[in-house]
Amino acid sequence: MEERITLILKDSLAVQEATITKNYAQVIQAINVITEAFKKGRKLILFGNGGSAADSQHIAAEFIGRFQKERKSLPAIALTTDTSILTSLANDYGFETIFKRQIEGLGKEGDVAIGISTSGNSVNVIEAVKIAKKKGLKTISLTGNKGGKLADLTDINIDVPSSVTARVQEAHICVCHCICEIVEENLS
């Protein structure tokens, strides 16, 4: 068991190291885009499925509350938290529309939309990014497995070089924490 634990943790570290090597410039771009949006009174909108839904909620909470510093609340929302909206949209229009319709109603030009998909091919995330771009939102994707279809659709793609979902999710949350910390510092 000790060997397996060590192997998992070392694999996670290796994926995170490869992620920053591959995405250093993209992470800086994301930090700058989010910082500027907050400075202009715009909001951050996050969305994804499964573990990526949980990551969306986690990061929105870091901005609404605080990450490491006491500061004013920053406008961030996860599109995964309202079960009435999610279930009515899935029922009435189809699951692929659950984020798209929310972006249509909530997104404003100058906002930032972050779509999270470990495969880069989640149809509902892709549809939301498409409408976000049409509405003038800046778009960022967090992906794995070479970025999938999302890589070419977003303004900034942060792609974790792994096809193992758990490793991709671990790197996503580490990247998001890095973004939270530096955006918070930029706004202090």
Burial 16-28 (b: 16+ CB within 10 A, else e): beebeeebeebbe
What parts of the chain have a pLDDT lower than 50?
none
Specify the pLDDT at position 31: 98
- Whole-model pTM: value is 0.94
* DSSP summary character for residue 39: H
* pLDDT at res. 182: 96
Tell the CATH topology of 2-186. Answer: Rossmann fold (3.40.50)
Which uninterrupted H or E stretch holds 113?
Answer: strand 112-117
